[in-house]
Amino acid sequence: MLELPDLSQITRELLQQIPRGKVTTYQALAIALGDKIAARVIPQLIAPYESDPNSLCYKVIQSDGMIPARTEVERTEKAHRLKAEGISIQNGQIMPLSKFLFRSFQCDAPLIKLQKTQFETREQLSLRPGRSSYRTAGGIDLSYAGSQGVAAYVSIELLSLQLVRADVDVQEVKFPYIPSYLAFRELPVMLALMKKLKDSAKLADITLVDGNGTLHHRHAGIACQLGVMLDVATIGITKSLLYGHPEKELASLTPGEVCYIEADGEKLGAAIQSKPKVEPFFISPGHKINLETAIEVARACLSEGRLPEPIQLAHNTSQEAAQSLKSRLSSSDKTTSQAKLKPTRSVQKELFDKA
């Protein structure tokens, strides 16, 4: 349902375009991929190739011309290879950088394509409630066991806040973390789990997602994408503010108080102070719901914790399931993408069903 680019392989291919006697920067590579915000992830993308003697990773430098390295030995080795190509280096810095900088990459900018996907999601959003009432509310969150993403989905009765069921799914996560592209890292695992539940009529009436909805740079966070792709009602819940400006000072909020978050000339979400002496959480519509109804549902889900109960239970479940998977993987030489996962203590064992 969702095809993602192999950014590491694409970056390796970009390195092959750098001519002899030239270098590039993390930022130049990020721009070639489609967004300069990805500069911070370039070291992670090229890391698998750094030990390859034929790799051109040594040609990637910092924007100020400094040669990046974990040790002085590594820096000296890189400098030696660069000097062999006629590149001038003074005190570990390429001088003048403008003379040796290469940034004329040929690339189809995969991050721009992902932005387009987000814009398309925004166009398909419905910010009107799909129903007049909700009997159950679900929560979905993701934790990690190495490269494995462990998604947990819990469903509760809204009236009693009692648990109905909990489900877990595991997949390898390959897409790196890039700010404002989090959905593409976590969406595949969450999407697979929620699709299974929807196909078996086990999805809650509305789902609270650990991630943003419209409170996002492109008004289309992971909660929006999940909602649109599955055609279900979703709400985005986060512990920190990614985008927008509060109407008032958040530190002044009192328990139960709501503060709207504005951006681009409209109210995209809200901060809710759930209890004394804790930070507020942030809420925004995902799909098939408006902001006011999303606030009502989130407040109806509040219990003793800072976050709405479905999100807190999903977090607890995914965390403990991931820890269980880590223990199993470390005690066995066999790597698997699926594991029998122990339920969190906050979830009744008899209600735990592995997806």
**Domain coordinates in residue numbering, the chain:** 7-108, 131-351
Q: Please answer whether residues 237 and 311 qualify as being in contact, where contact means their C-beta atoms are separated by less than 8 angstroms.
A: yes
Q: What is the pLDDT of residue 193?
A: 97
DSSP 343: P
How much is the CA Rg of the chain, to the nearest whole Å? 23
Q: Which residues of 57-83 are buried (b: 16+ CB within 10 A; e: fewer)?
A: bbbbbeeebebbeeeeeeeeebbeebe
The pTM of the full predicted model, rounded to 2 decimals, is 0.83
Q: For a pLDDT cut of 70, what percent of the chain falls above it?
A: 93
DSSP 2: -
Q: Please answer whether residues 68 and 61 qualify as being in contact, where contact means their C-beta atoms are separated by less than 8 angstroms.
A: yes
Helices 26-33 and 7-15, interaxial angle, to 10°?
120
CATH architecture of 7-108: Orthogonal Bundle (1.10)
Pairing of strands 266-272, 281-287: antiparallel
301 included as an active-site residue: no
| Token pair listed for 230 | 């599955």
Q: Please answer whether residues 279 and 307 qualify as being in contact, where contact means their C-beta atoms are separated by less than 8 angstroms.
A: no
Q: Please answer whether residues 172 and 149 qualify as being in contact, where contact means their C-beta atoms are separated by less than 8 angstroms.
A: yes
| Token pair listed for 151 | 């998604």
Check whether domain 131-351 has CATH 3.40.50.300, yes or no: no
HEC string of 137-159 equals EEEEEEEEECCEEEEEEEEEECC
- Report, as an integer, the average pLDDT of 115-129: 93
| Per-residue pLDDT reduced to its tens digit, 222-238 | 999 999 999 999 999 99
Comparing CA positions, the residue from 231, 260, 1, 270 lying closest to residue 125 is 231
Give 240: exposed, middle or buried? Use CB within 10 Å, 0-12, 13-18, 19+. Answer: exposed
pLDDT band at 332 (very low <50, low <70, confident <90, very high): low
**154 pLDDT more than 90:** yes
Catalytic pick from 57, 224, 259, 301? 57
> What is the number of other CB atoms lying within 10 angstroms of the CB of residue 100?
21
Q: What is the pLDDT of residue 179?
A: 83
pLDDT higher for 329 or 355?
A: 329
